[in-house]
Structure 1
Amino acid sequence: MNHLAHALLAGPDEAWRLGGVLGDFVRGAPDPLLPAGVREGIALHRAIDGYTDRHPEVLAARALFEPPYRRYAGIALDMWFDHCLARGFACWSTQPLDGFSTDLRQLLQRHGALLPPAAQHFARYMQANDLPAGYADPVVLERALAGIGQRLRRDNPLDRMLPVLQALDAPLQERFESFFPQLQRFVGDWAVARQSSV
């Protein structure tokens, strides 16, 4: 899952939500000087990624891609599922997407001192592109995919994947709608288990 999903799944706790976004920018053990709640959010981010990568609906969605796109289906699906979430946000959240997106950007701004340099750069990118709400717009999504592709070391087709994703929209939407409620239940169970172990 990508930034919108991680932020939403982290729930209303600001520290967990901040950690949910930072999960993509922290390698190895989180800095022990980070607030405990932020470290919990990073742990949740990693648990979500592990659950997602093994889930049968996600594996079935990846199998829909033909070579050479299949190799990059994981990255593309992370982005596309955020697109599905953004365009149907009212089904998954009581808060409007624009307000949620603004609140998330303001959260990152308030805690800028905790962000590693790559996350600070991404926070500026989010502001410039109205993310994560902008993921509802295929043009913004296409630009984001191309940007990821440019950062990868080897040649890749990410800058050409939007038409492939759009052609698979119906089956991918079906997989997303089956998968996301299960992911929400997983997160709820994870949170209960984590809090009971404290």
Structure 2
Amino acid sequence: MNHLAHALLAGADGERVLGGVLGDFVRGAPDPSLPGGVREGIALHRAIDGYTDRHPEVLAARALFEPPYRRYAGIALDMWFDHLLARDFGRWSTLPLTGFSSSLRELLRRQDALLPPTARRFAHYMQANDLPAAYADPVVLDRALAGIGQRLQRDNPLGRMLPVLQETDAPLQARFDAFFPQLQRFAHAWTP
């Protein structure tokens, strides 16, 4: 799952939401000086990633990709699932996507002092590109995949994956529809 899903799954507590977003930017044990709710959100982020990576629906979705795309299917699916979530956000949340996205960016702005440098750069990128709401737009998703691909050290097909994802939209949507309610239940029941 990517930033939109992690923020949504973290619930209504601002510290936990912040930790949910920071999970991709904190390596190892979180700084003990971080507020407890932020550390909880980071732990939830990691639990969500582990649950997602082992889930049968996600494994079946990964199997839809042929080489050389299969090796990068985990990254692509994280992004595509955020696209599917954004595309039909009203189905999964009572909040409007644009308001949720704006609130998330505002939270990151207010908590700038707690952000590691990489998260701070990403927060500025989110602001400049109307993320995570803009993940509903395939053009924005394509740019994001290409950007991730450029940051990886080895040659990879991420910058060419959007057409592959679009061609498999129906089966990926079906896998997501089966998986996401289970993930919501997991996140809701999770305790640190």
> With structure 1 as the length reference, what TM-score do the two structures score?
0.96
Which residues of 2 match residues 17-28 of structure 1 at below 5 A?
17-28=17-28
Give the match for residue 61 of structure 1.
61
- How far is 1:188 from its partner? 1.4
Hey, what's the Cα distance between the residues in 2 that align with 1:136 and 1:183? 20
Give the match for residue 142 of structure 2.
142
Aligned residues: 192
What 5-or-longer segments of structure 2 have no aligned partner? none
Give the match for residue 177 of structure 1.
177
Hey, what's the Cα distance between the residues in 2 that align with 1:86 and 1:74? 18
Hey, what's the Cα distance between the residues in 1 that align with 2:136 and 2:189? 29
Residue type of the partner of 2:59?
A: L
Residue type of the partner of 1:115?
A: L
- How far is 1:63 from its partner? 0.1
Residue type of the partner of 1:141?
A: L
Hey, what's the Cα distance between the residues in 1 that align with 2:108 and 2:185? 26
Hey, what's the Cα distance between the residues in 2 that align with 1:81 and 1:60? 14
Give the match for residue 151 of structure 1.
151
Q: Which runs of 4+ in 1 moved over 6 A?
A: none
Give the match for residue 113 of structure 1.
113
Give the match for residue 70 of structure 1.
70
SS of residue in 2 equivalent to 1:153? coil
Hey, what's the Cα distance between the residues in 1 that align with 2:75 and 2:128? 22
Hey, what's the Cα distance between the residues in 1 that align with 2:40 and 2:186? 15
Give CA-to-partner distance per residue, 1:122-142, whole Å, 9 cap, x none: 000000110000000000000
- How far is 1:189 from its partner? 1.5
- How far is 1:37 from its partner? 0.4
Residue type of the partner of 2:171?
A: P
What 5-or-longer segments of structure 1 have no aligned partner? none
- How far is 1:97 from its partner? 0.2
Give the match for residue 186 of structure 2.
186
Give the match for residue 162 of structure 2.
162
The RMSD of aligned alpha carbons is 0.5
Give the match for residue 14 of structure 1.
14
Give the match for residue 38 of structure 2.
38
Hey, what's the Cα distance between the residues in 2 that align with 1:125 and 1:146? 15
Identity of aligned residues (%): 81
- How far is 1:182 from its partner? 0.3
Give CA-to-partner distance per residue, 1:87-121, whole Å, 9 cap, x none: 00000001100000000000000000000000000
Give the match for residue 83 of structure 1.
83
Hey, what's the Cα distance between the residues in 2 that align with 1:188 and 1:112? 27
Residue type of the partner of 1:51?
A: Y
Hey, what's the Cα distance between the residues in 2 that align with 1:64 and 1:163? 14
Hey, what's the Cα distance between the residues in 2 that align with 1:165 and 1:186? 26
SS of residue in 1 equivalent to 2:190? helix
Residue type of the partner of 2:166?
A: Q
> With structure 2 as the length reference, what TM-score do the two structures score?
0.99
Residue type of the partner of 1:40?
A: E
